Each structure stands twice: as C-alpha cells, then as structure tokens.
Amino acid sequence: MTVKFKINGVEVEAQEGVSVLDTARRYGFEVPSLCHHEAIAAYGACRVCLVEITKGGRSKLTTSCNYEVLPGIEVVTDSPKIRKHRAMVLELILSEAPGAQAVRRMAAEHGVDVSRFVRPADGEHKRDNCILCGLCARVCTEVVGVSALTFNGRGDRRGVGSAFMDQPQSCIACGACAWVCPTDCVGFEEKDGMRKVVRWGRELPMAKDEQGRPVAPTYQLFHFQKVAKLPADFYKKSPGNRS
Ligand code: SF4
Ligand code: SF4
Ligand code: FES
C-alpha cells in the first residue's frame, strides 16, 4: 500500500514498511546516518538520523531509520533544534571514535571538532573507533548469511566479534563487514595469496584463477556454491562453460 505524507512541506509517497530515512533520501533530502544501510534491517544505534515528526498534532524528535512511514505525518529533516541534538549525539560518538574520518567530518559539519566526553585511555576500555553500531554483524547475518559476528562483553567491555571473543570460525573473509563499517575500523588486507579481515584476526587462503591470480578465499567460493546451489564442479569449469 502507498503511504502519503510530507517531508519539509513537500508531498511524498512511499510503500508501507519503508523508513522515513530511506524515503527522505529518495526525495533528495539529506539526513546523516552512521548505522544504516538500506539493504540491512534498521537497528537504531547511532541516533544521528534524528528528524522531527509531527503526528496527530504532536511533535517529537526521533530516529528516522527505524521509523516506518505513516499516512499524514509531517517530517522535518533539518532545523536548529535537530542540529543541536545531532551535535550532542555526534560529540558522544566522537569520543568513541576520535580517529574515524566519517565521524570527524559529520561532527565538524555540526560544529563539533573536539569532544568534551573523553573515554578512558587504557587498553581494556578502548574500542579502537568501534561505535557498536552492529552493522558488521547485521551484514554478516542478513546479507552474507554467515552469522560469524555478535555483540559480546558487557558495559565498557561490550564489543563486536565472535561470541567467545576469539577468531570467528565461520567467517569466510568476504570483507562485507569491513565495507559497511562506518568508522573503517574492521580492516581488510590481501597479501601473499591470503586475505585477512584484521579486526577479527581471520586470515584465509585465496583461490587462484588459471593465470595464478588470487580470486577470493576458497571458503567464500564454497559458501557461494552452497547458497546458490551451484554444481560441485562449477569452479573447475572455465568461465565460458559455467551454467
Ligand atoms: S568477512 Fe567474515 S565476519 Fe565479515 S561479513 Fe564476511 S563472513 Fe562475516
Ligand atoms: S566494527 Fe564497525 S560496523 Fe562493527 S559495530 Fe564497530 S563500528 Fe559498527
Ligand atoms: S542511522 Fe538511524 S540510528 Fe543510526
């Protein structure tokens, strides 16, 4: 069903179930975000995507990535009040990820160059720019279909990785988690015929093509073969004979 409502005074429409954030972007309205990707279910972790929504005469600031469109609502994506709240949220996030370029840039755009909230500097509490947005774990489960990652630890020691904080054994080193991470803190390297996903300490050998060039980790190719139900000899055939 199509839902009609307004964003910044403009009449818009979207399919039921779509988020306000995705709709706003589709109509060209800029809304910042750190923990959102349109291919992955919303989680609402970073709170950077705040907008103001008026429904039934009442207004509230709310995250737009996990707010589904509703008939007749009025959305404002930018105002001094929204920017003030986003600035506070970004200042907090900057204290978690002072080295993350995307966070620094977004914070600077909201007038925040330095965070007043300083996290303990010792190694035990350091998250190395991870903002616990969970995108890496969600892409691994929802898109890759592997579920190698989860939240682990508690309180200040909360982090993301394998359930037992060791090398995630089911990881196929596809690199999707490194690609979606908004703070670039996962890390991905290919060297000497090996691919390494740095943050998880996972290193796997690469399969090679007929010219001896590395293609992808063998585990990743097997995973694709299984998911796509490809014949057992699929990779042995030359590319022109695959069907
Ligand atoms: S590299 Fe490993 S942990 Fe990351 S998305 Fe791929 S399978 Fe999951
Ligand atoms: S490693 Fe990156 S994607 Fe994963 S939770 Fe931390 S910031 Fe988010
Ligand atoms: S993008 Fe909406 S809470 Fe992070």
What pLDDT is stored for residue 148 in this prediction? 97
Residues 17-34 as b or e (16 or more Cβ within 10 Å = b): eebbbbbbbeeebebbbb
Q: Quote the CA–CA distance of 17 and 185 in Å, as a whole number.
A: 31
CB-side neighbour CA atoms (13 Å) of 123:
0
Q: 3-state class of 236 per DSSP?
A: helix
The residue to mutate among 202, 218, 227, having the most atoms of ligand 1 within 8 angstroms of its beta carbon, is: 202
Helices (H), the chain: 20-26, 80-96, 101-109, 135-139, 176-180, 218-227
State if residue 173 touches ligand 1 by the CB under 6 angstroms criterion. Answer: yes
- Tell how far the Cα of 8 is from the centroid of ligand 2, in angstroms: 31
> Does residue 107 sit within a domain?
no
Ligand 1 near 137 CB (within 6 A): no
Closest by CA to 172, choosing from 136, 142, 196, is: 196
**15 lies in a domain?**
yes
Pocket test for ligand 2, best of 135, 162, 171 (most atoms within 8 A of CB): 135
Residue 240, φ and ψ in degrees, nearest 5: -70, -20
CA-wise closest residue to 42 among 26, 60, 20: 20
Q: From 38, 58, 78, give the residue that closes a domain.
A: 78
- Structural domain count of the chain: 2
Name the domain boundary from 31, 53, 78: 78
Euclidean distance between the first and the last CA atom of the chain, given in angstroms as a whole number = 38
Q: What was the pLDDT predicted at 231?
A: 85
The reported pLDDT for the residue numbered 122 is: 46
> Is residue 86 included in any domain, yes or no?
no
| pLDDT score at 71 | 98
- pLDDT for residue 155: 84
In a domain? residue 169 = yes
41: left (phi over 0), alpha (psi -120 to 50) or beta: beta
| pLDDT, position 117 | 86
- According to DSSP, the β-strands at 74-76 and 2-7 are parallel
Quick one: how far is CA 114 from the chain centroid? 24
**Closest Cα partner for 218 from 187, 173, 177?**
173
41 within domain boundaries: yes
> CA–CA separation, 29 vs 9, rounded Å?
12
Residue 235 and residue 146 share a domain: yes
Last residue of a domain, one of 50, 78, 106: 78
Looking at the fold, whether 71 and 144 belong to one and the same domain comes out as no
Query: From first to last of its 243 residues, what are the pLDDT tens digits of the chain?
Result: 999 999 999 999 999 999 999 999 999 999 999 999 989 999 999 999 999 999 999 999 999 999 999 999 999 999 999 999 999 999 999 999 999 999 999 999 999 999 998 765 544 556 789 999 999 999 999 999 999 999 998 888 889 999 888 889 999 999 999 999 999 999 999 999 999 999 999 999 999 988 888 899 999 999 989 988 988 888 776 655 665
Q: HSE of 2 in the Cβ direction (CA atoms, 13 Å)?
A: 4
- Report the candidate in 87, 95, 75 with the shortest Cα–Cα distance to residue 47: 87
**231 within domain boundaries:** yes
- Residue 233 sits in which domain range? 135-241
